[in-house]
Amino acid sequence: MPIKEIQVQRFSVTSKRSFDEVVAALHAAIGHTDVRALTQEISQSKNLAEMETIIHKVVDPSGLMEFVRFDLGDVVRKEQPAAPRSLRLVAGNPLIMKEMVKRVPDAGSYAPVTILIDERPDGVHLSYDRMASFLASYGNPEALKVAEDLDAKVEAVLTKAANASKESAAA
């Protein structure tokens, strides 16, 4: 079986804000929906334009939506009650994913993306593995451009959440 080696770039920003403030700011920046209902609506859409309308309603304001979250810290604290908090969000945009997958099918292994928010001694880290680094080795410039645009969106959201004031995080 062939094995493809992929070098991955990790974007990370550290915040001095509390974990709760950072999570609240991130939550406010990306769309939320019932993923099962969305999947059903997409499946029942009659054409691309109808599907785009459905998705655009969900991904505002950043162009991204949360698919699922995993409270990793809660699981670790079952064994270590004082363990720091850690949250993994799976987020993205089905329309962006479509543009990458139609050019590089393996992009479906990486999209939607993972955002990790975790407490460390120096602050709250927001980390993201850049999609462009996953797709660079596939040699498709169109998919790479889509991935770079996605990276810019995600990194802007993470940077804003890390730097958000208490007032904007609560909004």
Terminal C-alpha separation, the chain: 51
Residue 126 and residue 85: Cα distance in Å, rounded? 12
Report whether pLDDT(92) > 60.
Answer: yes
Report whether pLDDT(166) > 70.
Answer: no
Q: What is the pLDDT of residue 165?
A: 59
Q: Which fold has domain 10-30+63-170?
A: TATA-Binding Protein (3.30.310)
Could you tell me if 147 and 131 are in contact, meaning their C-beta atoms sit under 8 angstroms apart?
A: yes
Report whether pLDDT(144) > 50.
Answer: yes
Report, as an integer, the average pLDDT of 100-106. Answer: 97
Domain boundaries, the chain: 10-30+63-170
**pTM of structure:** 0.91
Q: Is 160 exposed, middle or buried (0-12, 13-18, 19+ CB in 10 A)?
A: middle
pLDDT for 127-143, tens place per residue?
A: 999 999 999 999 999 99
Report, as an integer, the average pLDDT of 53-82. Answer: 93
